[in-house]
Every structure is written in C-alpha cells, then in structure tokens.
Amino acid sequence: MRELGKLMPELGGLMRELGKLMRELGKLMRELGKLMRKLGALMRELGALMRELGELMRELGALMRELGKLMRELGALMRELGPLMRELGKLMRELGALMRELGKLMRELGAFMRELGKLMRELGALMREFDEFLHKLGEFLRK
C-alpha cells in the first residue's frame, strides 16, 4: 500500500502531462480540419473549372471540325473558280464568323487558364500549410 502511495504523485504528474498532450493534439486536429475544409473547397472549385475547361474544349473541337469542313469546301470552290466566286465570298464571311467565335473561345480559355493558375498557386500555399502541419504533427508525435 505504501508503494502505491509513493507512485500516486508520479502518476498524477503523468496524467497532467497526458492532459497537456491531449490538448495539443486537439489543437492540431482542429488545424487539420480547417486545412482539409480549405482543400475540399479548392478541390471543388478546381473540379468546376475542369468541367468548364472540358466544355470549352468540346466547343473548340466543334469549331475546329467546322473550320476544317469550311476549309475543304473552300478548296473545292477554288478549283471551280469562275461563277463560284460569289459562293466563295459567302464561305469567307462564315469563316470570319467562326474565327471571331474561335477568338472569343480562346479569350475565355485564357481567362480560365489564369484562374487555374491562381488556384494552383492557392493549392501550393495550402500544400505548404499542410506540410507545416505535418511537420508540427511529426514533432508532436516524437515527443
């Protein structure tokens, strides 16, 4: 019984130390939760941007197919020449409209790429925060 009494202060000290460690672990877990929520939000935004990029790429593909079709038609007209020059003028106007649409799409793609760059920088910053968190967690676990 006396031996048990001698161990009680030491056991109390260990319990206080365990309490401190548990509070520190709680703080780290809350920080991890915040980082994970930020990462989730960025991933959702990145997913939305990727879907938008997919749509833009599909539109670009359709425009490119249409452009290819118009170019083939233009070649046939050039061989026939003569009275077909009026038809050539019409195709050139359609091609101009397609090129304007392609320009618009390219501008949208440029804006998307700038937004994607911004997100990638934010993701990099978040990953650095996550790395710092892991470092702190590693230090904590080594204690």
Q: Write down the mean pLDDT value for the chain.
A: 90
* Phi, psi (deg, nearest 5) at residue 127: -65, -35
pLDDT (0 to 100) of residue 3: 79
pLDDT (0 to 100) of residue 140: 84
Query: What letters, b where the CB count within 10 A reaches 16 and e where it falls short, cover 122-131?
Result: ebeebeeebe
Read off the pLDDT of residues 6-16 as tens digits, 9 standing for 90 and up. 778 888 888 99
Model confidence at 82: pLDDT above 90: no
Mean pLDDT across the stretch 45-61? Answer: 94
Q: What pTM did the predictor assign?
A: 0.40
Q: What is the dihedral of CA 110, 115, 121, 125, to 10 degrees?
A: 180
Provide the 8-state DSSP code for 1: -
Quote the percentage of the chain above a pLDDT of 70.
98
What token pair was written down for 113?
């790429």
**3-class state of residue 143 by DSSP:** coil
Mean pLDDT across the stretch 68-91? Answer: 82
In angstroms, the CA 62 to CA 140 distance is 56
